[in-house]
Structure 1
Amino acid sequence: MSDESPLIRSLRAAVAAAPEDVPLRLHFAELLLAEGRSDEAVSQAAVALQHAPGDPAARDLMVRAMDLPTPTGPPAAPTSPTPRMAERPQADATGPEATGTEAGRGTNTPDTRNSDRTGPDGADPTATGPDGADPTATGPDSVATGAPAPDVPGAESTTRPPAGPPAFDWAAAEQDVADLVGPRFADHATEQPLTSDGSGDAGDASAWDIDGPGDVDVRLADVGGMQEVKDRLEAAFLAPMRNPELRRLYGKSLRGGLLLYGPPGCGKTFIARAVAGELGAGFMSVSLSDILDMYIGTSEKNVHDIFEAARRQAPCVVFLDELDALGAKRSRTHHSGLRNVVNQLLTELDGIDGDRNEGVFVLAATNVPWDVDLALRRPGRLDRTLLVLPPDAPAREAILRYHLRDRPIESVDLGKVVKATEDFSGADLAHVCETAAEAALLDSARSGTVRMIGTKDLLQAAKQIRPSSESWFASARNVAMFANDGGMYDDLVAYLKKKRKL
């Protein structure tokens, strides 16, 4: 702008170079207001409030620049373009306008210049002090800012109340500058506390997906076969819960941890839900995405909040899925954030406040237990391990019946299919049923006649699919042979010898 003074141009460039310097911006706005550029002054004050919402100087400048009426008093008089802390000349304090002697002497129409400053007798009680001097002539309170006068019976003061900046209608102010800045203040009535994912209060149990005791309708009876797995679960969790007298007699606590490991797709998650159903407990499934966060410290806080929610809703089963991702060996972890997550997990399982875990049952699942940090598997934490193998013959029959129950089948010999699917995982068996259904559907589409799924379709599908557990057993064989320190994988060694794979 060609009509700008050199000082204005210099300050404009300085503000552009340092946009977050609030005092500099307010000084620039004061000079704009002094030159009569109230719109630009309002814009600068709005930006200053954006960087410092509670700054009293910015609020004061906004009020003066917008010339807003105050909530309780009359509209503020236009302010002179002088610095806010400047002194008024003493001559103004002793003249007739300051004393208000012309306002109330024998006239029916008082002087409007002093109508707000005179008392009942027409004199201004605040115009002069005991010595005739104006007590408001100097100091920061001498500047008229449109502030509401204090409620003093019989008199009104022109000085600003000493406590805080002047109050005014911020809703109206935001409306006036809506084209300059967006809304800065949310409605308190609709404000909701946020978690790391934006869903609610992180410390509240409702912020985490916890199935109540009535929501878990799976029982161990729904798990086909796997009698050895059920027996181990009965001893570790179910018997102490069902017999509180015996539990107290033998000093068995209602807390503990169990690590389920084995090939993928063998029902480890299903078994964990069945344990919660048998206990009549809540169930919380936790995965890597529930814990990890991009901000430092938030991941550890998420671990703490998860266990706090489980403690509040005890008895509760906390299922840590893919434990090798959450609790990987710290010696192999180069990222400090992941190491801190393992440290926090150790603290929650068996730290100083470990006694608070009474009624919190921790079940974890992994396909590669040899990658889990050894500290997680020491006594008092996940101290018991359970090998979940591919389903045996009774379990395979139950799984096949489940996946064929809603499909059109005819004369299916499940015995033949069960023999043809040895070493198949539960996921593999579901894939067999899906493949057989696809073959029957394709034939029906080609012939125009609906054909039922038969034994032949299932056997043909079983020949096309290789058990997904084969690659897992190839890796586990090396661990069982060369890394079975302390007999940690004795059950795996026994299984491999029985299958003559070792």
Structure 2
Amino acid sequence: MDAHDRLVASLRAALDVRPEDVTLRLHLAQVLLDAGDLPGAMSEAAEALRHDPACDQARDFMVTALGSRPSDVAASGDTEPRPTASDPRTPGTGAPSAASQGERFDWTAAEKEVAGLVGPRFADEAAAPDAYETEAPALRLADIGGMEDVKERLEVAFLAPMRNPELRALYGKSLRGGLLLYGPPGCGKTFLARAVAGELGASFIAVGISDVLDMYIGQSERNLRELFAQARRQAPCVLFLDEVDALGQKRSQSRSSGMRTVVNQLLEEMDGVAADNDGLFILGATNQPWDVDTALRRPGRFDRTILVLPPDLAARRAVLEFHLRNRPVENIDLAVLADRTDGFSGADLEHLCDTAAEQALIASSRSGTVRMIGMADFETALRQVRPSTGPWFDAAKGVAMFANEGGAYDDLLAYLKRQRML
């Protein structure tokens, strides 16, 4: 290692300890420039500007360095001394510079020279990445087995008016307002919302409480503004708000003033007070619609509700087939399994398939011989897995019977009667 390399190594070691030392970094840049390493010198000067954007010395150095050609540097064999601080060719000194003598420095050419070395001085806010993930679902309602009543309600209440703007205009049908999906957990509300976006050919943004609520005062409201602003930019867009009862809980029951302002912000965004919601379709999901603030259920907001119940016979068969499609199975009677899983949610059915697969896996591990998943494994799984929807119906029963104001829960009441739960 020669003297130059040792000097460069020493300077870099010192900068590792004190990377913000602009003077030391410019000294290294000058050493590199004197040795003919123009890109290395420019990189160090750019790093100096990153630490101190107002450093005139770094900018003057870059102007001087850009005025040097590779043939000018010592590495090319030219012995002409490099300009110094007292040299009239050096900008930023009392001596006359090229610019002061009437020549105009070509900043456009200079920027091209340092392209990739120096970043923009200010970030472009418009180019900032979106905060929430956007999907373009290929899923359609026809891809969902069973649930014909729910599909029909979606078609009548939401999809048909959106697909037929001429008829909508003829009958004066407004697109204002959103759709609230409610029912026991694990029954496919998010799946349905994604299928609605696919039917409309719209982008899809799904968020939950963890994406919006924040511990700092005012940040939750800002998150909601950013969420709706992003959805409006990507219109047509289906915005899916999961756990609406947490985001828009009844203000009369809230002990936190912060949560009340979150509900106020959500109401403002849904009303489109500060922006146009044209092309923005809002879907919400909740397991506890009775805890949603009444203001959110008024016309123009979540004014239409659809009950999403545990999958029916055809849907259960389709869900079971879906979760077994890539597993080694033999002689599985889907009709029998679908019949014996009445009241199971979609999540329960997935858990049932996982439990049956575990039985076959454990048996294969113990015997050392791989075997298929059979009905015997499902018999064992059915003794272990029980429907998780029971507690929800127990809680919903009282609401349907004694708090069914305006017939909001007539569908739920009819289902409870059919299932002999009343």
Same fold (TM over 0.5): yes
> Structure 1 segments of 4 or more deviating over 4 A?
68-72, 147-152, 190-193, 201-205
Q: In the alignment, residue 410 of structure 1 is paired with which amino acid? A: E
Inter-CA distance 70–343: structure 2 relative to 1 (3 Å threshold): closer
Instruction: State the match for 2:258 in structure 1.
Output: 337
Residue from 348, 357, 364 that aligns with 2:277: 357
Residues 205, 309 of structure 1: 8 Å contact kept: no
1:357 partner SS: coil
The CA deviation string for residues 271-306 of structure 1, in whole angstroms up to 9 with x for no partner, is 000000000000001111222233332221221121
1:367 aligned onto 2:287: yes
Instruction: State the match for 1:168 in structure 2.
Output: none
Q: In the alignment, residue 230 of structure 1 is paired with which amino acid? A: K
Instruction: State the match for 2:132 in structure 1.
Output: 208
**Residue 439 of structure 1, CA deviation:** 0.6
1:456 aligned onto 2:376: yes
**Residue 344 of structure 1, CA deviation:** 0.6
Aligned-residue CA RMSD in angstroms? 3.0
**Residue 188 of structure 1, CA deviation:** 5.0
Whole-angstrom CA distance in 2 between matches of 1:69 and 1:380: 59
The CA deviation string for residues 229-288 of structure 1, in whole angstroms up to 9 with x for no partner, is 101111122212222211221122344301111100000000000000000000001111
Inter-CA distance 331–71: structure 2 relative to 1 (3 Å threshold): same
Q: What are the residue-to-residue correspondences of 1:79-94 with 2, within 5 Å? A: none
The CA deviation string for residues 381-411 of structure 1, in whole angstroms up to 9 with x for no partner, is 0001111000000000000000010111111
1:283 partner SS: strand
Runs of at least 5 residues in structure 1 that lack an aligned partner in the other structure: 1-52, 73-146, 156-186, 194-200
Q: What are the residue-to-residue correspondences of 1:279-318 with 2, within 5 Å? A: 279-318=200-239
Inter-CA distance 69–353: structure 2 relative to 1 (3 Å threshold): closer
Q: Percent identity?
A: 61
1:331 partner SS: coil
1:378 aligned onto 2:302: no
Residues 204, 309 of structure 1: 8 Å contact kept: no
TM-score normalised to the size of structure 1?
0.60
1:207 partner SS: coil
Aligned length: 327
Instruction: State the match for 2:77 in structure 1.
Output: none
Q: In the alignment, residue 273 of structure 1 is paired with which amino acid? A: R
Residue from 383, 402, 407 that aligns with 2:322: 402
Residue from 372, 389, 392 that aligns with 1:472: 392
Inter-CA distance 190–437: structure 2 relative to 1 (3 Å threshold): farther
Whole-angstrom CA distance in 2 between matches of 1:301 and 1:320: 16
Whole-angstrom CA distance in 1 between matches of 2:304 and 2:58: 74
Residues 282, 317 of structure 1: 8 Å contact kept: yes
1:332 partner SS: coil
**Residue 351 of structure 1, CA deviation:** 4.5
Inter-CA distance 449–484: structure 2 relative to 1 (3 Å threshold): same
The CA deviation string for residues 114-169 of structure 1, in whole angstroms up to 9 with x for no partner, is xxxxxxxxxxxxxxxxxxxxxxxxxxxxxxxxx965979xx9xxxxxxxxxxxxxx
Instruction: State the match for 1:267 in structure 2.
Output: 188
Instruction: State the match for 1:238 in structure 2.
Output: 159
The CA deviation string for residues 13-59 of structure 1, in whole angstroms up to 9 with x for no partner, is xxxxxxxxxxxxxxxxxxxxxxxxxxxxxxxxxxxxxxxx99x9xx9
Residues 176, 301 of structure 2: 8 Å contact kept: no
Inter-CA distance 345–150: structure 2 relative to 1 (3 Å threshold): farther
Instruction: State the match for 2:14 in structure 1.
Output: none
Inter-CA distance 237–389: structure 2 relative to 1 (3 Å threshold): same
Whole-angstrom CA distance in 2 between matches of 1:265 and 1:418: 17
TM-score normalised to the size of structure 2?
0.71
Instruction: State the match for 1:189 in structure 2.
Output: 120
Whole-angstrom CA distance in 2 between matches of 1:239 and 1:70: 63
Instruction: State the match for 1:223 in structure 2.
Output: 144
1:260 partner SS: strand
Q: In the alignment, residue 210 of structure 1 is paired with which amino acid? A: T
